[in-house]
Chains A and B, each alone.
Chain A
């Protein structure tokens, strides 16, 4: 699996936007970019995924660089409930397994 690099931790204030970066310089043309998060003492939770175009859903937005070597997960207004470990994961088109890295621990300050 192609590797991703994320900062170990980030902090944000409540109700402010958060931009979580992910580098994936060895991404192949058929790799999708997935984001999951894991709240304390819970199972991972799907956030969003995309291939080339930017994506929006009710939870977040995903901005993908034109060369696809990096992407950014955007939480538009952070809440305390968004404090979690966020994982950026690459998955082949025909793949099935999610390969979790260390992720980014997001702290949201009130």
Chain B
């Protein structure tokens, strides 16, 4: 069964450093998403991406964050100058179509900022 894969599974970084979280969405999917889940809290939407541009973003997704589809298979989330409060599980998801279709989530990258 096709799946969304994320690397690395765990990333530790120092406060102020830049990190790039990587995702390989399912190959025929057109919509890509990033969500995050701080330990013990709800899953929160960050951004959706379609046709090489951001289609929607949340209040959390400020100038510190950026997304990119650098080639035909990868989808990345970059966090510039990480803060302690960025420590969370980051989930990538993709769907064949937008709107009311099934979203497939990856297993997540646990980001720890020290």
Judge: A and B partners, yes or no: yes
Among residues of B, the one whose C-beta sits closest to the C-beta of A103 is B42
Stretch in A17-25, A61-69, A71-79, A92-100 with 4+ CB within 8 Å of B: A92-100
Flag if A44 contacts B100 (CB, 8 Å): no
Flag if A100 contacts B100 (CB, 8 Å): no
Flag if B99 contacts A91 (CB, 8 Å): yes
Q: Which of A44, A92, A97 has the most CB of B within 10 A?
A: A97
Given A43-B91, A44-B91, A99-B45, do A34 and B56 touch, yes or no (CB 8 Å)? no
- B-facing mask of A20-54, CB < 8 A → 1, else 0? 00000000000010100010001111100101000
Number of B interface residues at 8 Å Cβ cutoff, please give it.
Answer: 25
Number of A interface residues at 8 Å Cβ cutoff, please give it.
Answer: 23
Flag if A44 contacts B43 (CB, 8 Å): yes
Docked Cα-Cα span, A94 to B44, in Å, equals 19
B106 → chain A closest CB, angstroms: 6
Q: Pick the contact of B105 from A34, A43, A91, A96 — CB < 8 Å?
A: A43
Residues of A within 8 A of B107 (CB): 42-43
Flag if A97 contacts B45 (CB, 8 Å): yes
A62 → chain B closest CB, angstroms: 13
Could you list some 26 contacts between A and B, CB below 8 A? A32-B100, A42-B108, A43-B4, A43-B91, A43-B93, A43-B107, A43-B108, A44-B35, A44-B43, A45-B105, A46-B102, A46-B103, A46-B104, A91-B99, A91-B100, A93-B100, A94-B99, A95-B100, A96-B31, A96-B50, A96-B55, A96-B98, A96-B99, A98-B35, A99-B45, A100-B44
